Amino acid sequence: MRIRIVDAFTDRPFAGNPAGVLLLDGDGFPGDGWLQDVAREVNHAETAFAHRLPAGGDADWALRWFTPVTEVAMCGHATLATAHVLHTTGTHEGPVRFATRSGVLVATPAADGAITLDFPTAPLTPVAVPDGVAEALGAEPVAVFDTGANVGDLLVELADEKTVRGLAPDHKALAAYSARGIIATARADDPAGGYDYLSRCFFPNVGIDEDPVTGSAHTALAPHWSARLGRPDLTGLQASPRTGLVRTGLRGERTLLTGRAVTVIEGELYAGPDA
């Protein structure tokens, strides 16, 4: 079968967040062991597996996401990458509805090549700063929020952009504080720079020390910064070494995530589930 590597939330190769994408034949998923083996072999933050669903239902494709070590409940960049492959190969036209562990997620392409994802907004619950988290992160939190089951992170607001950019956390120590990891964020120093807020994401519990660009994290960042800045539509910069931009639109219980994607590798996977 064809396997592709797609850089998501970027308009150029070797930036954004790379994801493996496999469009599967048939009407079901192979065994979890094979899916995990492929994701481990691809060795990017996520590999997406999708198969077509019968016409007339609530969704067009079933979609699952695996890191190199585990399956995850929600992934934005690999969903964007999958929608990009479906549209650029002519496999699907117009909005595509994905059946996932996080419900039906819709990806809508625009004429200019951008794709908008419709995801559930993360419920933010203020929590006390956990003992030791400042030491593990390497910075003193301004505020800390639980992001709910779908995202599974602690969102930690820091004092300023310089603090976020300068983080060098103890990844092993961070694993104690949430199901997936830590979203560190601050307001942009200069909104004229093209983004309203920035973030970095550290996910040691799913085998990713620092994720390049995290769509799911922006379902928590969007309500946080929209409340702070008083606007529903914002742009977030994920300040990883690869960097990426995510346009966020808060729509109550739903958050719109808009970005671009670029296919950088396409090849043949020989080790099928029956190999």
Q: Which residues carry out catalysis?
A: 46
**Which residue(s) pair with 146 in the sheet?**
125, 154
Q: Which residues contact 4 (CB under 8 A, 6 or more apart)?
A: 20, 21, 22, 81, 85, 263, 265, 266, 267
H-only helix segments in 97-199: 133-137, 148-151, 161-165, 171-174
Cα 97 from Cα 118, distance rounded (Å)? 10
The token duo for 233 is 């539509």
Cα 221 from Cα 195, distance rounded (Å)? 13
Please state the separation of Cα 220 from the chain's center in Å.
11
The token duo for 217 is 């994290």
Cα 47 from Cα 66, distance rounded (Å)? 5
Which pairs count as long-range contacts for 25-33, CB under 8 Å and 24+ apart, including other chains? Answer: 25/1, 25/51, 26/51, 27/51, 27/52, 27/53, 27/54, 29/62, 29/64, 30/273, 31/273, 32/71
Diameter of the chain by CA atoms?
55
Cα 239 from Cα 209, distance rounded (Å)? 14
